[in-house]
Structure 1
């Protein structure tokens, strides 16, 4: 796998996390393309839906894989990692666990569970120990089935929902944290309302939607001192990317959404069927202050080209600080979460 991308970056999650999920390996159509573990393909959608159902927040957990590269078969499809590949990557997995030092580890699937046994011996198996809390290497270990489609044959989505609820409740019990409300929507209501409003005003490229959304959050922070949502926005090669706005999530969340390609560029088209109640729906969710911020951003940037939008986002303080740090340290910070703090917008 020497020519494969290594899927390990700040997009895996905060190093201060007390909850770590370990899956098998990056997926060919998901993490191997987007460099974000458990995101972008069907497995990623299942995982994120399970997190939201249980009330777990992706921004507060660390996600990695037993093997950091995508193992492919002779036809280029996803393949189960070989024993040798797991062993070759084992030291990286051990170092991640030591660095993050989580109190609870969730092993997603047999490969991850086996890899952990090579670090510190255990006799756990998926069949007999699924959804149980076990002592392992000075911390708690919970074996769960993998969220991929094949695993659903052995563990239904309904059962996996209960599994993730068990993780949430175990984590809550360990820290006596206030339970978060369940949210089974694919995109959270506040994010969905903003995106729907944006698209009701402008036909945008998929690229532009991410940049406009970021600029709205940025302008809100400057004017109001806080963001409008807790959407997870990271720095990618072409600027800010919001994981909540993955194209499949958008299609599943907005029934009237359509996409079309013009010269290999993807455009997002939103023609709501019930145009008479649309304004009232926005008014019930979005404040007049929020709508004013969105309108100002759309007036200024809504008709800009992708190239102009890319320049605009790179001139914002959070992105300039990231670029400066990259230049000074001769590294790239792709997939770094973009944080809006006072020192970034002065």
Structure 2
């Protein structure tokens, strides 16, 4: 590597960054020429597109590599760094982590993950731990695939977009000021949820969000009006109802019993009060009850994947997917407009 540029300098980024990305090594057509990590070649273009999609500003991050010089084979092409080469640079990698003190370190590819294990053993594998936040060296470590074209064979561009969105959301949760969850769940949504949970005996927290969304969707189709005033946004796993935050839900009604089944939150009612709310309140129309009965009976799926598929086939979600595809916009956490769809 004697003729390769040493990629360690101010172009790496913000020395006070909360987020650090660690790649494999400078590319022959990229950082070895531009002297900017992940910039100038296909991998750099993909990386910059991915962080842009996730709303991550390059000025706010620090980018480096497990090996600081470009390794090449006998033909002059990029080659995978040898274990000895990774070991030779591990001291520099450790010192960069200690200098920047990021809250999250993101490894890009198996070689980067291996390089980090030489700084501090972690026992993680890319295949098993991709897009998960793991405790490492007093901070979080998130393994992702390399943004190069070869890695796209194993991890699609769409999946990688979601990976970077996960990084952005994890960072936001770490750095956002903690505050108490405001208010309880609104009463019109609460009544609808009681009705559906009572009819199903028990639903998962995942199902409750999707059923609440489908109830809004079906009701708008039938009547042209919203069922409730709840606020829904689009997330990776489909619609998420902000008003159904688990703490707000429990605060609103102690009759909701929340248990954990293998890490999966399950919700049931300690008393069957759902139907009485609709009977007792004159401001809840009969059409609302018809909508909820239809949703409970129609959307019974054996798996979360089937329910998620049904949700993504509805008009509001298809409209958002089309907009993302044609405009290249990132609509994660964007409000869902039932009436426009």
Structure 1 residue 158, shift from structure 2 partner? 0.5
Q: Does 1:22 align with 2:10?
A: no
1:16-55 map, 5 Å = 16-55=16-55
RCO higher in structure (CA 8 A, sep ≥6): 1
Task: Please name the residue that 1:165 is paired with.
Answer: 165
**In 2, Cα distance between equivalents of 1:17 and 1:42:** 25
**In 2, Cα distance between equivalents of 1:4 and 1:28:** 9
Task: Please name the residue that 2:88 is paired with.
Answer: 88
Question: What is the CA deviation profile of residues 209-263 of structure 1, one whole-angstrom value per residue up to 9, with x for unaligned ones?
Answer: xxxxxxxxxxxxxxxxxxxxxxxxxxxxxxxxxxxxxxxxxxxxxxxxxxxxxxx
Two-structure CA RMSD over aligned residues (Å): 1.2
Task: Please name the residue that 1:334 is paired with.
Answer: none
Q: Does 1:102 align with 2:136?
A: no
**In 1, Cα distance between equivalents of 2:120 and 2:64:** 18
Helix, strand or coil: the match of 1:96? helix
Structure 1 residue 119, shift from structure 2 partner? 1.2
Task: Please name the residue that 1:341 is paired with.
Answer: none
**In 1, Cα distance between equivalents of 2:40 and 2:4:** 17
Q: How many residues align?
A: 178
Q: Does 1:65 align with 2:74?
A: no
**In 2, Cα distance between equivalents of 1:56 and 1:30:** 21
Task: Please name the residue that 1:140 is paired with.
Answer: 140
**In 1, Cα distance between equivalents of 2:94 and 2:123:** 18
**In 2, Cα distance between equivalents of 1:8 and 1:46:** 21
**In 1, Cα distance between equivalents of 2:59 and 2:119:** 27
**In 1, Cα distance between equivalents of 2:18 and 2:169:** 14
**In 2, Cα distance between equivalents of 1:14 and 1:4:** 24
Task: Please name the residue that 2:194 is paired with.
Answer: none
1:100-249 map, 5 Å = 100-176=100-176
Question: What is the CA deviation profile of residues 283-314 of structure 1, one whole-angstrom value per residue up to 9, with x for unaligned ones?
Answer: xxxxxxxxxxxxxxxxxxxxxxxxxxxxxxxx
Structure 1 residue 121, shift from structure 2 partner? 1.0
Question: What is the CA deviation profile of residues 13-38 of structure 1, one whole-angstrom value per residue up to 9, with x for unaligned ones?
Answer: 01111100000000000100010000
**In 1, Cα distance between equivalents of 2:69 and 2:6:** 5
Structure 1 residue 164, shift from structure 2 partner? 0.1
Task: Please name the residue that 1:7 is paired with.
Answer: 7
**In 2, Cα distance between equivalents of 1:174 and 1:65:** 24
**In 2, Cα distance between equivalents of 1:38 and 1:15:** 17
**In 1, Cα distance between equivalents of 2:52 and 2:90:** 30
Structure 1 residue 3, shift from structure 2 partner? 2.1
Question: What is the CA deviation profile of residues 196-221 of structure 1, one whole-angstrom value per residue up to 9, with x for unaligned ones?
Answer: xxxxxxxxxxxxxxxxxxxxxxxxxx
